[in-house]
């Protein structure tokens, strides 16, 4: 019994260790900054700004894990329970997306939230999207055992709501810069600091440096 408990604890520590390279933090920092710059990019290149939002952060995560993290700590394979957690996350995510879409349709058609919606003065849709984002990221953070994801979910979810409020007062692009740009820069800086600590603590093996295999 003790051996099983120890193995679970070792796996848990190894799993958390995969987040200690700062790559996820940098990715979310880049994503937030992308949100802030989206209105400016949209004015410059039109609908192509969607690619600007969709590509850089996931690409950074993929390349960072492949060329920075994996050569230093290797690839860690986890047990069936840990793998099953991803299936739960996918299922919950699909449910949340469906509920969000349904609520958005009902809101746009003025079926929901009725009188309460008129009291919100046009903020119903940002509230729905923002709250759904916070819940979804909270679930993701719990399943992946990475609390920072919940914090980033709150930043994004509240940012969507606050940006709508600021849009009517300070306009674009200042609304996005305040709600996403400033937090994004702070998160990005934090991620870079963590990454440099990781690189100092886990340098590349000498043989890989000599052979140039990154």
pLDDT tens profile 25-66: 999 999 899 989 988 888 888 777 777 777 888 888 889 988
Question: pTM for the whole thing?
Answer: 0.75
Q: What is the pLDDT of residue 210?
A: 45
Whether 194 shows a pLDDT value over 70: the answer reads yes
Whether 180 shows a pLDDT value over 70: the answer reads yes
* Residue 152 CB neighbour total at 10 angstroms: 25
Share of the chain above pLDDT 90, in %: 19
Q: Please state whether the peptide bond connecting residue 172 to the residue before it is cis, i.e. omega within 30 degrees of 0.
A: no
Whole-angstrom Cα distance, residue 200 to residue 20? 13
Looking up tokens 């979810």 gives: 157
3-state secondary structure of 20: coil
Whether 5 shows a pLDDT value over 60: the answer reads no
Q: Average of pLDDT values for 132-136?
A: 85
Do 60 and 30 touch, CB atoms closer than 8 A?
yes
Instruction: Count how many residues are written for the chain.
Output: 214
Half-sphere exposure of residue 5: CA atoms within 13 angstroms, side-chain side: 2
* Residue 53 CB neighbour total at 10 angstroms: 15
Whether 111 shows a pLDDT value over 80: the answer reads no
Q: Which residue did the predictor score with more confidence, 82 or 74?
A: 74
């Amino acid at each position: 019994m003790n051996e099983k408990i120890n193995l679970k604890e070792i796996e848990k520590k190894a799993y958390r260790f995969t987040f200690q390279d700062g790559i996820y933090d940098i990715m979310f920092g880049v994503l937030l900054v992308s949100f802030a710059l989206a209105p400016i990019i949209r004015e410059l290149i039109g609908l192509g700004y969607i690619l600007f939002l969709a590509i850089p952060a996931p690409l950074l995560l993929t390349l960072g894990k492949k060329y920075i993290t994996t050569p230093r700590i290797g690839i860690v394979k986890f047990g069936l329970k840990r793998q099953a957690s991803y299936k739960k996350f996918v299922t919950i995510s699909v449910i949340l997306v469906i509920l969000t879409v349904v609520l958005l349709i009902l809101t746009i058609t003025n079926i929901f939230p009725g009188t309460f919606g008129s009291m919100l003065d046009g903020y119903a849709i940002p509230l729905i999207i923002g709250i759904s984002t916070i819940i979804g990221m909270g679930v993701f953070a719990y399943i992946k055992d990475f609390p920072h994801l919940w914090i980033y979910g709150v930043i994004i979810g509240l940012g969507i709501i606050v940006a709508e409020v600021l849009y009517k007062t300070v306009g674009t692009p200042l609304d996005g810069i305040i709600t996403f740009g400033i937090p994004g820069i702070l998160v990005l800086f934090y991620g870079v600091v963590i990454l440099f600590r990781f690189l100092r603590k886990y340098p590349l093996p000498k043989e890989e440096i000599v052979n140039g295999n990154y």
